[in-house]
Amino acid sequence: MINFFYRLRFRVGCGKICSLWNHIIRHLFGLIFPVYCSLTKPKYGLNREKRNEEIIISLTSFPARLNVVHLCIRGLLMQSLKPDRIMLWLTEEECKNIKLPKKIEELKKYGLEICYAKENLRPHNKLYYTMKENPDAVIITVDDDIVYDTRLVEVLYNAYKENPDCVCCNLAHEITLKNGLPDEYDNWRGGAIGKSGKSDLFVALGFCGVLYPPNCFDNEYFDYKLIKDLALSADDLWLKATELRLNIPVNKVNENTKYPFSVRQSQKSALGKENNGMKRNDIIMKKLCNYYKFDWTNLK
């Protein structure tokens, strides 16, 4: 059912008529998928066979989204290549003393793990804690208000097997330079449309799914004081800085990506709009550049 709707969509940046069609398909999916989930039972969604390395899907959520996050997880339980674990991170300060919706609790018997983080690192939560506890695993991060294509894990894992030294993603922005330094965020090549492969200038976009290889980051990535000082609200930029520091390229899997389906009525956080609209991404990027002194002109 999910893949049927994904096949109907056009790629990112396909023109006004195609964008209108995408809008219609997105609207229809938003109406139909919740009904589909209410009328069907989920199936056990984890891998049952031995494999050389563990694959973990990791996401985070917060109270305003807890009424819809089960829709995202239902899609993750339908993957063509089954993960070994699906970890949903909540924070103790926001969720420890509240009753979780029954639709989330019921998914535990189908493979969902619900974990509680003591320190709230906001968007960083979805990777930080899973990677800290499972450094030897392949970790795929997703957003909690998206219903993903059921081939998400398969596509990203195949890309990783071909490029084990890379962070692999479906969609990325491409940093543009001005006077040897990153230009304003709004001037970056949004979506890096028409481009794929490895680049030091790609910034992986988490909402389309990102895969991180085992043991790819060092202890400095986990320095929560640095995170708070430099990039608390922009995990994608903190991750980019970590990748540059450790010489890890980003591999954009496809030249032409389709946007995933967002969940209707998800009370979407305004974090991205806040970062962009108030130019906070530029402020954060400047902080990171001043702290790390990257040599931008020699990046590949």
Among residues 12, 61, 5, the alpha carbon closest in space to that of 195 is found at 12
pLDDT recorded at residue 270 = 44
The burial of 253, by beta-carbon neighbours within 10 Å (0-12 exposed, 13-18 middle, 19 or more buried), is given as buried
Give the pTM: 0.94
Place of tokens 């040599």: 295
Indicate the helix (H) or strand (E) that contains 3. Answer: helix 2-8
The stretches in the chain having pLDDT less than 50 are 267, 270-271, 273, 277
Among residues 133, 142, 132, 129, the alpha carbon closest in space to that of 169 is found at 142
Chain mean position to CA 105: 23
pLDDT in tens, 112-154: 999 999 999 999 999 999 999 999 999 999 999 999 999 999 9
CB-based contact 65:266 (threshold 8 Å): yes
CA 72 – CA 143 distance, rounded (Å): 8
Dmax of the chain from CA atoms?
57
CB-based contact 269:94 (threshold 8 Å): no
Q: Phi and psi dihedrals of 231, rounded to 5?
A: -155, 50
C-alpha distances (whole Å) from 172 to each of 190, 203, 234, 239, 248 are: 7, 5, 15, 13, 15
pLDDT recorded at residue 1 = 86
Q: CB atoms < 10 A from the CB of 187, how many?
A: 13
CA 28 – CA 33 distance, rounded (Å): 8
CA 57 – CA 74 distance, rounded (Å): 13
CB-based contact 164:213 (threshold 8 Å): yes
CB-based contact 241:231 (threshold 8 Å): yes
pLDDT recorded at residue 267 = 45
Retrieve residue 268's tokens: 């979407």
CB-based contact 167:212 (threshold 8 Å): yes
Give the chain's end-to-end CA distance (angstroms, integer). 40
CB-based contact 78:150 (threshold 8 Å): yes
pLDDT recorded at residue 298 = 83
User: Computed from CA positions of residues 223, 228, 230, 233, in that sequence, does the dihedral angle turn out positive or negative?
Assistant: positive
pLDDT recorded at residue 266 = 54
CB-based contact 113:198 (threshold 8 Å): no
